[in-house]
């Protein structure tokens, strides 16, 4: 079951018992003023949201997660994967041997080469390679419409589920955004509860999921690569 909630994630988590979820996979804002940057696309009206290269986004990323958010997230979930944590590591205040590196294969692009996620797991650093560079994507045959400034590919979330979740586990996402994780959970068969505070993004993401679910499924989902260990040699 996939449960989409238009709500404040803090209010929702405060009403949960301890360890209500097995795994939280979250991508919270981290106050880098993404909202003030122009949209890098022309039209995603098929998802219910239309943007232009000159339109500005709302101030949805004006505050990074604080220690209260992280404490609640750890309380309600047994394990956590937190994207962008390198920007607010003081709120986590906990070491981890298992950071996840998403290599976006941007080459000479002005965009960041990688994105990092802190995890509560005790395994090694892992790397996932998938191009996400403007109009170029790692799976051009199934190119995704961009409806959110920090949207991540469905393939990334499928990889996370394959490598860090177990069948039957319950997944939590506190900042649903484009709802790529909802599509991944639908494909991989995981129960998900997702929170999204912004009404426009909630409706657009919900429509995106519904469009995915309406597509015929004649074949089993394409396989997802196993995690690749990132080896760092001593000097």
Q: What is the 3-state secondary structure (H, E, C) of the chain?
A: CEEEECCCHHHHHHCCCCCCEEEEEECCCCCCCHHHCCCCCCCCHHHCCCCCCCCCCCCCCCCCCCHHHHHHHHHHEEEEEEECHHHCHHHHCCCCCCCEEEECCCCCCCCCCEEEEEECCCCCCEEEECCEECCEECCHHHCCCCCCCCCCCHHHHHHHHHHHCCCCCEEEECCCCCCHHHHHHHHHCCEEEEECCCHHHHHHHHHHHHHHHHCCCCCCCCCCCCCEECCCCCC
Q: In degrees, to the nearest 5, what angle opens at C-alpha 53 toward C-alphas 213 and 111?
A: 80
129 found inside a domain: yes
For residues 215 and 181, the model is more confident at 181
133 found inside a domain: yes
- The residue written with tokens 């990334």 in the block is 156
215 found inside a domain: yes
- The pLDDT-based confidence of 191 (bands split at 50, 70, 90) is very high
- pLDDT exceeds 90 at position 110: no
Give the domain range for residue 159: 2-229
- The residue written with tokens 């995106």 in the block is 208
234 found inside a domain: no
235 found inside a domain: no
List the single range of 101-115, 138-152, 198-212 with lowest mean pLDDT.
101-115
Tally of domains within the chain: 1
200 found inside a domain: yes
- pLDDT exceeds 50 at position 232: no
- For 155, other C-beta atoms within 10 Å of its C-beta total 21
- pLDDT exceeds 60 at position 114: yes
195 found inside a domain: yes
For residues 169 and 235, the model is more confident at 169
220 found inside a domain: yes
From first CA to last CA, the distance across the chain in angstroms is 49
- How confident is the model at residue 38, as a pLDDT? 39
Cα–Cα dist 6/216, whole Å? 28
- The pLDDT-based confidence of 227 (bands split at 50, 70, 90) is low
Please compute the mean of the pLDDT values over residues 183-192 and round it to a whole number.
Answer: 97
Contact 115, 102 (CB under 8 A): yes
Cα–Cα dist 232/30, whole Å? 27
- How confident is the model at residue 74, as a pLDDT? 98
CATH number at residue 157: 3.40.50.150
42-80, pLDDT tens digit by residue?
Answer: 333 444 444 433 334 455 555 788 999 999 999 999 999
């Amino acid at each position: 079951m996939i449960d989409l909630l238009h709500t404040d994630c803090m209010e929702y988590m405060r009403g949960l018992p301890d360890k209500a979820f097995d795994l939280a996979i979250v991508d919270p804002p981290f106050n880098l003023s993404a909202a003030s940057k122009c949209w890098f696309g022309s039209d995603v009206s098929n998802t219910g949201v239309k943007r232009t290269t000159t339109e500005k986004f709302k101030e949805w990323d004006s505050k990074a997660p604080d220690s209260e958010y992280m404490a609640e997230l750890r309380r309600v979930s047994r394990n956590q994967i937190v994207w962008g944590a390198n920007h607010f590591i003081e709120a986590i205040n906990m070491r981890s041997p298992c950071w996840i590196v998403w290599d976006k294969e941007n080459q000479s692009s002005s965009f960041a080469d990688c994105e990092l996620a802190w995890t509560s797991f005790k395994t090694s650093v892992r790397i996932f390679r998938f191009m996400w560079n403007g109009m170029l994507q790692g799976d051009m045959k199934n190119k995704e419409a961009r409806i959110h400034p920090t949207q991540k590919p469905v393939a990334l979330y499928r990889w996370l589920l394959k490598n860090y979740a177990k069948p039957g586990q319950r997944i939590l996402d506190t900042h649903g955004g484009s709802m790529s994780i909802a599509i991944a959970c639908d494909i991989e068969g995981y129960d998900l509860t997702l929170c999204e505070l912004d009404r426009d993004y909630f409706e657009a993401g919900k429509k995106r999921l519904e469009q995915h679910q309406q597509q015929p499924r004649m074949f089993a989902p394409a396989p997802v690569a196993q995690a690749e260990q990132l080896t760092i040699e001593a000097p």
